[in-house]
Amino acid sequence: MNVRSRLVAISGAVLLAFGAQAAAADVDYQRLLKADKEPDNWMTYHGSYNSWHYSALKDINTTNVKQLKVAWSHVASRSTRGLQSYPLAVDGVLYYSGSYNQVWALDGATGEVRWQYKQKLNDDLVAKQTHSPYNRGIAIGYGNVYMGTLDGKLVAIDMSTGKLKWETKLVNSEKLTVGFTGAPLLVKDKVIIGAQGGEWPDRGPIFGVDARTGKQVWRFYTVGGEEGNGDARNTWGGDSWKTGGGGGWMPGGYDAETNSVWWGTANPAPLYDWSGPDYKTSGARPGDNLYTTSVILLDPDTGKLKGYHQELPHDAWDFDSATGEFIILKRGGKKYVVHPSKSGFVWVYDDQGKVQNVWRLVQNINFVKDITPKGELVGRRDMTAGKHTNLCPFIAGGMSWNMGSYNPQTGLMYKVGNEWCMDLEIEKTTPVLEPMAQLNIGANFNITHPQGGKAHGHVSGRDPITGAKKWEVKFDEPPLASLLSTGGNLLFVPDARGWLRAYDARDGKELWKHNNGQGHNGGIISYRAGGKQYVAVMTGWGGLAGDDYGTFFGGTFAQMPKDSGVIKVFALP
Amino acid sequence: MAAVISAVHGQEPSKPGPMQSQGFDVNKLFAGSCGWCHSKGGREAGKGPMLMGTELTDAQIISRIRTGKPGQMPAFQFTDEQLRAIVDYIRALKPA
């Protein structure tokens, strides 16, 4: 893959059309390290490197949330596939990305637009992509807004002016079709971003780029690793590593005490194998297929692999480890890293990546009989070519890529679980020999209700280490947006139908709701601007996981637009 | 249908050549690229519409596969032969 950096001269004109904020210290690594000391701001995708998706703000709390109303909103143009991103709030300004790699900066108190950034894209390339044209989010630091683009670049945008500072081509998207949809993560002086890949026959790279110059510093191939650093091509039979899929399409977490970046990797290709139980020696990709569907620990300075755990060896079900936050918390003097995965299981690690526990968040799971607390798969359901019924969960996962939340006051982790299954017919596909512009799925399938029940979703408050359930609320359709819990003891849940609800985080009692008029597929944060607390949520439906809702669940989903995006911001009167 | 791997020769720099698609067994091609959205092999609506019994003409089907539909379906670069086979596959669909 060609890598070209281009430094673009910073424009002389500074476009602060609506009045300047008092100059604030740059967002840099030190500020990000102490992000939880700045609850007024939400400076990184997960809120902080601990990835709690928690706001300590408590002006809005259980006693007054019933008064919450819309303070302002902004309509995001060209919102094909809705609004799937996480906004960031820094020193009174709200920043967010939308489809076709647009970025906006808004006054956090009034919603007035400060600037809009538009990326020049090749429409023909975008037309060929499946996981497109949405963007999941940005990183901020050193005066820049960083974003991965659909055509495989990392761009740095001046956060004051909205002008492009530099762009670095990392992935040959024109050849491979895939690019970036996930948010980058800024750690020290590196911007780290992972490419898509699981459905496409390439090797799923993760990159580390110099945050100031834009120069690519390192790369780690999730399929097979790197020569001399975790080289694991021998876990792929024949040449299947060359087109193994993989990727790392969501931003990971960072543990400063061990200087380790935690990242989840995506599934191998083809998604569905025909090997049956002999997956180590036969089928489309014989072997464990490292480092797909794994949790990897990387050195942020060098990209070197420091450790890993493969959550699903030879993943035959498309249950990425790329989804799921890395919640870092301490209990009883010990540090844990909690990772919910698409499979429906939650892994609990120590800070070296050793499995401490595994617990299940959803009921309808039969791709394995169980996974032991040590992480061993029991009773794998490895399929052969032909028809299979009632595989659970459905390909969209027992959990999807929408984030959960950890609340240090309640000690609970909150997460959406999906109860649904599928029937499928696996084809013995011909090996894909070269990366090329086509999908590599391997089966025809359809979504089904779980046997003896109806497909549905739930949000539960759980002990993050043991999985013990404190409370649960059911939803007729799984919500596909992220959660936010706060110091005001609130849990905000944006659902698929369009309702944003606030619950008492301690016991799940519903305290407030508002219909935003369209489903939610993105992020939610809280911040202060002008001394007032706001809750900002993305509205706009159209993500791939929800594509079946119109035909499967019907109702409002049959009429719901998939090209509409509005960020809505709430406050007390 | 015998599996034949179609070789990719001399791609023009400005226009990528035909895709090597599952040795041109149309069932494998469909499972590789289409079945993800067109459920039950195209017999059921899912992420995408049901293909069985479609009222679209052959030309409309081919155009849709070639150009896609923004935000709903990607554009695929199949050869004329592959497109013809997909149309025949769709026309032959019966309930499972």
Q: B75 and A551: CB-CB below 8 Å?
A: no
What's the mean pLDDT in A16-38?
Answer: 74
Confirm whether A59 is a catalytic residue.
no
Pairing of strands A484-486, A54-55: parallel
Size of interface A-B (CB pairs under 8 A): 107
Per CB-CB distance under 8 Å, the chain B contacts of A549 are none
Check: pTM over 0.95? Answer yes or no. no
Catalytic residue among A40, A107, A299, A318: A318
CB-based burial, A481-518: b 16+ in 10 Å, e otherwise:
bbbbbbbbbbbbbbbbbbbbbbbbbbebeebbebebeb
Per CB-CB distance under 8 Å, the chain B contacts of A563 are 71
The band of A434, judged by pLDDT with boundaries at 50, 70 and 90, is: low
CA distance A100 to A345: 33
Q: Which of A81, A427, A542 minimises the CB distance to B31?
A: A427
The band of A199, judged by pLDDT with boundaries at 50, 70 and 90, is: confident
pLDDT digits (tens, 9 = 90+) for A460-500: 999 999 999 999 999 999 999 999 999 999 999 999 999 99
For chain A, which domains are there?
34-117+237-246+259-571 (2.140.10.10)
Regions of chain B short of the pLDDT cut 70: 1-23
pLDDT digits (tens, 9 = 90+) for A66-83: 999 999 999 999 999 999
The amino acid sitting at A483 is: L
Q: Average pLDDT of chain A? A: 94
The two three-digit tokens of residue A60, written as one number: 């809005």
What's the mean pLDDT in A193-207?
Answer: 88
Per CB-CB distance under 8 Å, the chain A contacts of B68 are 127-128
Complex ipTM: 0.78
- The residue extents of the domains of chain B are 22-91
Question: Which letter does DSSP use for residue B11 in this model?
Answer: -
CA distance A373 to A356: 7
Q: What is the pLDDT of residue A511?
A: 98
Q: What is the pLDDT of residue B77?
A: 87
Interface test with B, best of A176, A178, A430, A548 (most B CBs within 10 A): A430
- Considering only alpha carbons, which residue of chain B is nearest residue A174? B16
pLDDT digits (tens, 9 = 90+) for A412-424: 999 999 999 999 9
Q: What is the pLDDT of residue A58?
A: 98
Q: How many percent of chain A have pLDDT more than 70? A: 95
DSSP A41-105: -B-STTSSTT---EE---SS-TTTGGG-EEEEEEEPSS-TT---PBPEEETTEEEEEEGGGEEEE
The band of A377, judged by pLDDT with boundaries at 50, 70 and 90, is: very high
Q: A447 and B46: CB-CB below 8 Å?
A: yes
pLDDT over threshold 70, residue A541: yes
What is the second-level CATH architecture of the domain B22-91?
Answer: Orthogonal Bundle (1.10)
Strand partners of residue A426: A386, A443
Interface of B with A (CB under 8 A): 3, 5, 8, 16, 19-23, 25, 27-28, 30-33, 35-42, 44-48, 67-68, 70-72, 74-77
Q: What is the pLDDT of residue A441?
A: 83
The band of A313, judged by pLDDT with boundaries at 50, 70 and 90, is: very high
Q: A444 and B76: CB-CB below 8 Å?
A: no
The band of A323, judged by pLDDT with boundaries at 50, 70 and 90, is: very high
Per CB-CB distance under 8 Å, the chain B contacts of A80 are 70-71
